[in-house]
């Protein structure tokens, strides 16, 4: 138990900083504990997750959990296994063109940076180009996906976004499904089984 970390998580769950910006009540979504083996960071929760308050309960989550990681929900949602966060803990809503809004930087600056200081994880997984850009601002996104990277000396795996809308990327990079995700899956399973 770490009282400072517990207070931080409670503060995040009560956060309403972006309510006026979003135009609806934010619902911070976070799962994990201070000793989670894997810290997984994506862009922001989807509209579905905003309603379920459980991360990756959408189509992207199905591909991520069942196809890519090949694990069940009990393993994925076990807080000893995964600390599931995002650049924005809340669904940011849609812009005027119907696209997901960018995650507000205030969430990462206010909360996520602080969370990462506490967690005693083994590896990081970054999902999507926006998450990768925060941690590796000068790197080419595709290069990051196909090699092992490091944050604070810890292995960091970068994944493309598992969204069903990401069709072109997968068509242009068949080697991800044919080989890279198999390597990543082995690494994840090794970490989970230790």
* Whether this model's pTM surpasses 0.75: yes
For residue 75, the enclosing domain spans 3-192
What is the average pLDDT value for the chain, to the nearest integer?
Answer: 93
Residues with Cβ within 8 Å of residue 31, at least 6 apart in sequence: 54, 55, 77, 79, 82, 83, 84
Question: What is the number of domains present in the chain?
Answer: 1
Q: Looking at residues 143-163, what average pLDDT do you find?
A: 97
Strand partners, 159: 127
Q: What is the pLDDT of residues 163-185, one digit of tens each?
A: 988 999 999 999 999 999 999 99
The CATH number linked to 18 is 3.40.470.10
Spatial contact of 2 and 34, defined as CB atoms under 8 Å apart:
yes
Q: What is the pLDDT of residues 96-145, one digit of tens each?
A: 888 778 888 889 998 999 999 999 999 999 999 999 999 999 999 999 99
Residues with Cβ within 8 Å of residue 155, at least 6 apart in sequence: 122, 123, 124, 148, 149, 187
pLDDT for 1 equals 59
What are the residue ranges of helices labelled H in 37-103? 47-52, 59-62, 73-76
Rounded distance between C-alpha atoms, residue 92 and residue 191, angstroms = 32
């Amino acid at each position: 138990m770490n009282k400072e970390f517990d207070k931080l998580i409670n503060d995040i769950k009560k956060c309403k900083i972006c309510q006026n910006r979003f135009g609806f009540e934010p619902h911070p979504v976070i799962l994990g504990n201070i000793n989670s083996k894997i810290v997984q960071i994506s862009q922001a929760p989807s509209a579905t997750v905003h309603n379920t308050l459980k991360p990756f309960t959408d189509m992207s989550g199905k591909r991520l959990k069942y196809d890519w990681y090949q694990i069940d929900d009990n393993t994925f949602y076990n807080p000893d296994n995964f600390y599931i966060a995002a650049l924005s803990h809340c669904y940011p809503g849609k812009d005027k063109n119907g696209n997901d809004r960018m995650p507000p930087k205030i969430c990462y600056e206010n909360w996520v940076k602080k969370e990462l200081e506490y967690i005693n994880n083994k590896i990081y997984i970054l999902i999507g180009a926006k998450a990768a850009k925060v941690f590796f601002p000068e790197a080419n996104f595709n290069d990051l996906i196909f090699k092992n990277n490091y944050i604070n000396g810890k292995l960091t795996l970068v994944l493309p976004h598992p969204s069903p809308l990401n069709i072109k990327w997968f068509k242009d990079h068949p080697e991800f499904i044919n080989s890279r995700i198999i390597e990543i899956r082995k690494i994840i399973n090794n970490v989970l089984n230790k």
